[in-house]
Amino acid sequence: MPLPLASEYPTLLIQRAAFERVELARTAFDERFGLTRDEFRVEGDLIAVGPLVGEDTLTGIVAELESLGLVYFDDFFEMSGNWPAWLRVFAATSR
């Protein structure tokens, strides 16, 4: 089922296989970035982290993922959250 994305703040979309490949654990990820249960959602092969409030949170997570060897656009992608509130955007993997 596609995951709804917030229009006000960015959401980071990560391929589940990439997340698992670098042996990230959800609990450690949540604790490191102070994420709530609703800010880390998994649906099939896709992980949605967000909405992320504050520029430092997004840049911190991106830097962490890149330091682990994940590649922006190939393994993860940031949806800006910069669209009108009347537009509903959903994300899902194509596989």
- Which tens digits make up the pLDDT trace of 6-49? 999 999 999 999 999 999 988 887 888 888 888 899 999 999 99
DSSP 8-state class, residue 8: S
Inform me whether the pLDDT recorded for 61 exceeds 80: yes
In a domain, 65, yes or no: yes
How is residue 9 written in tokens?
Answer: 């703040």
3-state secondary structure of 91: strand
pLDDT value at residue 87: 94
Residue among 54, 29, 32 at smallest CA distance from 41: 29
Q: What is the dihedral of CA 35, 48, 50, 65, to 10 degrees?
A: 70
Q: Report the CATH number that the domain containing residue 63 is assigned in CATH.
A: 3.30.70
- Spatial distance between the Cα atoms of 44 and 93, rounded to a whole number of angstroms: 8
* CB-CB contact of 26 with 40 (8 Å): yes
Q: Which domain holds residue 21?
A: 3-83
3-state secondary structure of 47: strand
- Which tens digits make up the pLDDT trace of 64-74? 999 999 999 99
Number of domains, the chain: 1
In a domain, 89, yes or no: no
pLDDT value at residue 34: 83
